[in-house]
Amino acid sequence: MATNVLVTYGTTNGSTARIAEAVAEVLRTDGLTVDALPARSVPSAASYDAVVVGGGVYAGRWHKDARRFVRREGKALAERPLWLFSSGPLDASASERDIPPVPGVRKAMVRLDAREHITFGGCLEEGAKGWVARMILRGGKGGDFRDFERIEEWAARIGRELTS
């Protein structure tokens, strides 16, 4: 049974971090020990029994911190249970249908034998960093499309798998 879980993420404006924290909270209620950390600050995945990695999707690519973490820690990740999530669509589509991973994440899933990938809606609100974010907001798109009920259900499935 896995007891020590890492939930790590790449985020620009904090939206993906909040999803990761929600996943970690659910896993903790299942009795697991969980660290929720930015991907760039994780020294090694080797000390964990299981790992969840999330990244915001920007222009069809996973956040660079998530990509770098998966590349750097590939050997350790391939040796333990691994789940991946993406956040990004600025509409309700992620709650309405399964959105497949972007190509780079799909390749990582195969290479590392990840158990599952899921895409959650994103969040982009006033004050977001980056000119692309400002252009999106100026164009009238944006808002919070994260479905925390769906996020918590997914995390509970992971918790059941890890504690059974």
pLDDT tens by residue, 5-36: 999 999 998 999 999 999 999 999 999 999 99
Residue 2 predicted with pLDDT over 70? no
Mean pLDDT of 84-104: 93
Domain boundaries, the chain: 4-163
Question: What is the pLDDT, as a whole number, of residue 20?
Answer: 98
CA distance 40 to 17: 12
Is residue 153 predicted with pLDDT exceeding 70? yes
Full-model pTM: 0.94
Looking only at the bridges linking them, the beta strands covering 4-10 and 33-38 are parallel
- On the question of pLDDT at 157 being above 90, the answer is yes
Question: CATH assignment of 4-163, given 3.40.50.300, 3.40.50.10880, 3.40.50.720, 3.40.50.360?
Answer: 3.40.50.360
Predicted confidence band of residue 146 (pLDDT cuts 50, 70, 90): very high
If we measure between CA atoms, which residue out of 20, 116, 112, 21 comes closest to residue 73? 112
Q: Report the 3 state secondary structure along the chain.
A: CCCEEEEEEECCCCHHHHHHHHHHHHHHHCCCEEEEEEHHHCCCCCCCCEEEEEEEEECCEECHHHHHHHHHCHHHHHCCCEEEEEECCCCCHHHHCCCCCCHHHHHHHHHHCCCEEEEECCEECCCCCCHHHHHHHHCCCCEECCCHHHHHHHHHHHHHHHHC
Report whether pLDDT(158) > 90. yes
